Amino acid sequence: MNTVLITIVLVPIIEIYLFIKIGGQIGAFNTISLIFITAVIGIIYARYEGLNTLKSGFSQLVKNELPAYEIISGAAIAFAALLLIIPGFATDVLGFLLVFPFTRKIIFGKFVDKFKNETKNKKPYIEGEFEDIEEDDERKL
């Protein structure tokens, strides 16, 4: 079966289960309040981390380096913000894991290292041949 279809079916089931369990423990009003509070705090922190990642990416570009981690980190922060907007406890936990720099570095660190190693092995120049064309040459356009 397709993993996207399984995810679309399982995520709401898990969220409903957690709503019922947590709502039974702390009450309906507190559960709803907690959902809104985590969404607001998460979005504010995602905005802060997104701006920090953007600054770090520009500093990497100024150094003439590829901002691989910053690109992946920016996409992860955008996905985390989406997860934090979606009401639910499981999506909030995953969203907060992606927002915090420490856990993001753990999750994406090896992927970025692999990407940087591939770009370091490339030559910094393009090999090719050239031929001087005289001013009165007929091949000149």
pLDDT tens digits, residue range 27-46?
A: 989 999 999 999 899 889 88
Q: Which DSSP category does 64 fall into?
A: T
Residue 125: DSSP 8-state: S
pTM: 0.72
Q: Which residues span the domain enclosing 21? A: 13-120
Residue positions counted in the chain: 141
Q: Does residue 6 lie in a domain region?
A: no
Note whether residue 71 is domain-resident.
yes
What is the domain count for the chain? Answer: 1
Q: For position 42, what pLDDT does the model report?
A: 87
Q: Are 90 and 15 in contact (CB under 8 A)?
A: yes
User: Is there a contact between 17 and 87 (Cβ–Cβ < 8 Å)?
Assistant: no
pLDDT range class, residue 118, cuts 50, 70, 90:
low
Asked whether residue 11 carries a pLDDT value surpassing 70, the answer given is yes
Residue 140 has pLDDT above 60, yes or no: no
129 domain-assigned: no
